[in-house]
Structure 1
Amino acid sequence: MILLRALAALLLALPSLAMAQERVVNVYNWTDYIDPYAIERFQQETGIRVRYDVFDSLETLEGKLSAGRSGYDVIVPTSEPTFSRLVRAGALRRLDRAALPNLANQDAALLRQVESSDPGNAHGAIYLWGTIGMGIRPDRIRALAPDAPLDSWDLILRPENARRLARCGIAIMDSGIDVIPSVLRWLGRDPNSADAGDLRAAEQALLAIRPHVRAIVASSAIMDALANGEYCAVITYSGDVVQAQGRARESGRGVGRDSEGLTYVQPREGAQLWFDMLAIPADAPNPENAQAFVNFMLRPEVIAGVTNQVRYPNAVPSSRPSVRPEVAGDPNVFPTAEMVARTFTASAPGAAAERARSRTWSRFKAGR
């Protein structure tokens, strides 16, 4: 009888023991921003199960992380301002380079670009990068505004142009963190300015076009709608437009870089350059599993699969032979040196400026 009771107790405990021994990594990444096969392969190779959640804006990510104990092991913040703020706040774990040999695969020049956010590149590895610019349908724009410049922020930010394009649809991604620096650049101001006059000028510029903007939504929503032909001019991330091209092609709607198709434009005034980072929260429940995941993602063939899937460039030069030729050769995916030379990077504003920008963005969305 005693033996039977002991056996029964052991059988009841087995599920709990199995759960306790299960190896997991909790990942929080942007929407539509990974190669599903990479997750499958990582699980098969390591026996570590991936719990995968997504966000659609930096504001959402920061809100989740700000309270602490998020439960995530790997997050993907943009270098500025979110990643740099997390570094300064001590919210990220220093990378254990001995456990991450694939860090050596990264482009040294690109790493130098993010060193101002993370001195010594101590807390993050570059996942993907790109620019913020415009997605446009030139044929529809020319029908309404034949004299509007297609290579300038003037196309959307000048009220007289925005008014004419309202009929075919203007959308702007719902992220003041990303959009306001570009507006400041267009105005000839410092994209990192905390000056009250500069921020007031940016707010006035945004409010001037607000009556003509059809939607201010998450970039992922812009991508789908742009592919479906709902908008003719948008402000969003470069890769979202390139992905929308692929979806438009699959649906039979005209695409390409010619005059008839959907295309991405890096405005001549300059586009913001950004880097999305693989980082580990300081309170990550499974830091060793997190490091295994980061190291896996930096394998050349793995990160090449991500670039092929989501059409954003990665920072591993040895991955290029595994990137499909039509992707590797697209300057909207891998910008030329001349295009990169026209970009700028934004830094995290101080607390007072951040509050002012947040108020500006709220007023813009409300239209007053």
Structure 2
Amino acid sequence: MLRRSTLLNLGLVTSLCSGLASAASDVPSVHVYNWYDYIGPTTLKDFQRDSGILPVYDTFDSGEVLEAKMLTGHSGYDVVVASNFILPGLIKAGAIQKLDRSQLPNLPHLNPVLLEKLRANDPDNLYAVPYLWGTDGLGYNVDKIKAALGEDAPVNSWDLLFKEDNLAKLSQCGVALLDAPAEIMPIALHYLGLPPNSSNPEDYKKAQALLLKLRPYITYFDSSKIQSDLSNGDICLALTWSGTVHSAKQAAEEAGKGVRVEYSIPVEGAPLWIDNLVLVNDSPRPANGLAFINYLLRPEVVAPATDWIMTANANRDATALVTAAVRDNPGIYPPPEVMAKLFILQPQSHAIERVRTRAWSNIKSGH
């Protein structure tokens, strides 16, 4: 999508130019590590203008890359954006530091519901500031789903994906799943009526059996090409992140080729993910890092990011500043009754991670 590639280029150019400028001057700076498509189009420029601090901005496209860099240490970064389910590991490893709340006067803007959800990963809200958030759910091609399953297709239920009869028919138009066992396996467990954060190896055998039964009808597992394939009409169903589907929908509308894409949060409940601003434990410039975090907590700063990325922000006072079409979209800002059914994913013990990884390998290979 043009918007994403433009923002990627902006991030890379900003990082390169800022790095050169920083090396050539004594201008104060802050080094930020974020997802490649995850900031407003003018936020970095505006922050430098308003604060006098030069943002040196680098991007990543995989949570695993971020986690490895953080656990290795000495990254040189001040602020990174970390997903909620890796927070416990980062906290335990001493990779991030407690936040000096006295330096974050904009914290009261945050949505208390999201802060409470985040306690599952950051128990006392000491280390992380919620930034953007969303859900895992179903992205689908309206017309192809209707053609395969009829007018009563269960597009608002996990049955659309997990019932073999449905998936067998949809396999003809393409089905994709995130290549993310830490997210897909809990969803399968939840569908089976088991705890999504189960620590029982036997539960993972049941989830594996369910997914192996469906494996012949799954076109691919991939976390990067679902957006373009949905927007182009190359697949008709995907289990993916909400932001991916909303961007695909927008791209399809801009292309004007008649591809209609929609997103649903299944009525049975789904994972809620929160991407957070955290301060690196060995940050060379912690004061500048806190200034950057506090800047992103300003409602008028974070609202344009939501409009640009089509992903909800955690700032309750920014909601009124978000474009009406975005804030009124229940797939982006779910109503309270849907929020109540969303669950937070939690990291598992090494033993369970091995079980899950082995099960995922079997599922992908079909054995």
TM-score scaled by structure 2?
0.89
CA distance in 1, matches of 2:175, 2:163: 12
CA distance in 2, matches of 1:109, 1:16: 41
Three-state SS of the structure 2 residue aligned to 1:185 is helix
Q: Which residue of 2 aligns with 1:3?
A: none
Preserved CA contact (<8 Å) 1:29 1:55: yes
CA distance in 2, matches of 1:16, 1:181: 45
User: 1:187 and 2:192 equivalent?
Assistant: yes
CA distance in 1, matches of 2:69, 2:234: 31
Within 5 Å, which residues of 2 pair with 1:14-53?
19=24, 21-53=26-58
Q: Name which of 169, 173, 191 aligns with 1:164.
A: 169
Three-state SS of the structure 1 residue aligned to 2:42 is helix
CA distance in 2, matches of 1:173, 1:47: 40
CA distance in 2, matches of 1:31, 1:188: 36
The residue type equivalent to 2:312 in the other structure is P
Preserved CA contact (<8 Å) 2:71 2:93: no
CA distance in 2, matches of 1:247, 1:17: 36
What's the CA shift string for 1:174-217, capped at 9, x where partnerless? 21112111111011111011211101111122222222222211
Q: Name which of 105, 122, 131 aligns with 2:126.
A: 122
Greater Cα shift, 201-210 or 164-173: 201-210
Quick check: which has more Rg, 1 or 2?
1
What's the CA shift string for 1:35-74, capped at 9, x where partnerless? 1211121122223332323333322322222222223221
The residue type equivalent to 2:111 in the other structure is D
Three-state SS of the structure 1 residue aligned to 2:47 is helix
Within 5 Å, which residues of 2 pair with 1:247-258?
247-254=251-258
CA distance in 1, matches of 2:22, 2:39: 32
CA distance in 1, matches of 2:43, 2:238: 31
Change (3 A) 1:211 1:60: farther
Preserved CA contact (<8 Å) 2:227 2:245: yes
Report the Cα offset of residue 239 of structure 1.
1.7
The residue type equivalent to 1:308 in the other structure is D
CA distance in 1, matches of 2:268, 2:120: 23
Q: Which residue of 1 aligns with 2:214?
A: 209
CA distance in 2, matches of 1:142, 1:365: 28
CA distance in 1, matches of 2:290, 2:161: 42
Preserved CA contact (<8 Å) 1:26 1:51: yes
User: 1:361 and 2:360 equivalent?
Assistant: yes
CA distance in 1, matches of 2:44, 2:308: 13
Preserved CA contact (<8 Å) 2:267 2:338: no
Within 5 Å, which residues of 2 pair with 1:217-366?
217-218=222-223, 220-254=224-258, 261-366=260-365
Report the Cα offset of residue 16 of structure 1.
11
Q: Which residue of 1 aligns with 2:113?
A: 109
Greater Cα shift, 47-56 or 166-175: 47-56
Report the Cα offset of residue 119 of structure 1.
2.5
Report the Cα offset of residue 122 of structure 1.
0.8
Give unpaired runs (5+ residues) of structure 2: 1-19
Preserved CA contact (<8 Å) 1:57 1:174: no
Question: How many positions carry a matched residue from both structures?
Answer: 347
CA distance in 2, matches of 1:52, 1:191: 35
Preserved CA contact (<8 Å) 2:22 2:54: no
Tell me the percent identity.
Answer: 40
User: 1:88 and 2:87 equivalent?
Assistant: no
Preserved CA contact (<8 Å) 1:171 1:213: yes
CA distance in 2, matches of 1:176, 1:17: 40
Report the Cα offset of residue 148 of structure 1.
4.4
Report the Cα offset of residue 366 of structure 1.
2.8
Greater Cα shift, 84-93 or 186-195: 84-93
Greater Cα shift, 302-311 or 136-145: 136-145
User: 1:141 and 2:145 equivalent?
Assistant: yes
What's the CA shift string for 1:259-309, capped at 9, x where partnerless? xx3111111221111211111121223222211111111100011111111
The residue type equivalent to 2:243 in the other structure is G
Preserved CA contact (<8 Å) 1:58 1:175: no
The residue type equivalent to 2:135 in the other structure is T
CA distance in 2, matches of 1:277, 1:194: 25
Change (3 A) 1:360 1:24: farther
The residue type equivalent to 2:266 in the other structure is P
Change (3 A) 1:50 1:366: farther
Greater Cα shift, 129-138 or 44-53: 44-53
Q: Which residue of 1 aligns with 2:12?
A: none
Three-state SS of the structure 2 residue aligned to 1:21 is coil
Q: Which residue of 2 aligns with 1:7?
A: none
Preserved CA contact (<8 Å) 2:22 2:29: no
RMSD across aligned positions (CA): 2.0
Q: Name which of 171, 177, 196 aligns with 2:201.
A: 196
CA distance in 1, matches of 2:36, 2:232: 18
Preserved CA contact (<8 Å) 1:26 1:72: yes
Report the Cα offset of residue 163 of structure 1.
2.0
CA distance in 2, matches of 1:246, 1:293: 30
Within 5 Å, which residues of 2 pair with 1:35-74?
35-74=40-79
